[in-house]
Amino acid sequence: MARIREVLRCLPGQNALVRGYYECDCGRGHWCLTEGGGAAMPALPADCLGVEWVLHHLVPRPPLDLAHR
């Protein structure tokens, strides 16, 4: 069983495993979209009091033929 907590929560700079929208854990509504697949999570905003990003929902990767139009 995968350690689900490590998939759903990512520290800034840590490699994100899944593509999706992440919300910071400070509760002030900071968001980011990450590509997943090992892409590094962005830094938290300067006014953010949180520690890490929490996966909010997954975003499917668009089909290749649509992405290049």
- Residue 7 CB, shortest distance to Zn ion, in Å, is 20
H or E element, residue 5: helix 4-8
- Smallest gap from residue 1 Cβ to Zn ion (A): 30
- Nearest Cα neighbor of 47 from 29, 22, 34 is 29
Nearer to Zn ion, 24 or 55 (CB): 24
Check residue 41 for interaction with Zn ion (CB under 5 A).
no
Instruction: Specify whether the CB–CB gap between 50 and 26 falls below 8 A.
Output: yes
Q: Which residues bind Zn ion (CB under 5 A)?
A: 24, 26, 28, 30, 48, 50
